Structure formats: C-alpha cells, structure tokens
Amino acid sequence: MDYEELEQECTRNKMYTKRVMDLWCDAKKWHYLAEHSENDAVRNKYMAVSNSLMDLFNNEINEMRNR
C-alpha cells in the first residue's frame, strides 16, 4: 500500500467514524427531547427514535471492533 492509498483509507475511516458519532449525537438529541416533553405519547415516540438510533450506534461500534 502506498502513501496515497493509506491516506484514502484513513479518510474513509474518518468519514465512517464521523457518521457513527453522528448516530450517537442524534440519539442523545432525541433522548433530551423526550426528557423535556410534557406529553407521554410524544415522550414515548421520541424515546423509541432515540433507542433505535442508539441500537444502530452500538451495532456500528461492534462492527468497528471487528475490523
């Protein structure tokens, strides 16, 4: 692998890592929205979104560990 290929691989890894971290940030955002919601139905809906995003985040973290 030459230097340019290495740089491209590093760039791809950085982009992938940023997308994974964006999942975590989005999950936390929905969690905070749920915490500050005054309606139980809305709170439950927001927590469902948060939990789904957190599941995706955790799956990606596990994939990263297996690379």
DSSP for 19-61, written as a single string: HHHHHHHHHHHHHHHHHT-S-HHHHHHHHHHHHHHHHHHHHHH
The verdict on residue 3 lying in a domain is no
Query: Is residue 57 within 8 Å of residue 23, measured between CB atoms?
Result: yes
What is the rounded average pLDDT for all residues in the chain? 95
Terminal C-alpha separation, the chain: 18
pLDDT digits (tens, 9 = 90+) for 2-26: 999 999 999 999 999 999 999 999 9
The verdict on residue 2 lying in a domain is no
Number of independent structural domains in the chain:
1
Residue 31, domain extent: 19-65
Range 27-52 average pLDDT = 97
Residue 27: other Cβ atoms inside 10 A: 20
Residue 54, both tokens? 């957190």
The verdict on residue 35 lying in a domain is yes
What pTM did the predictor assign? 0.85
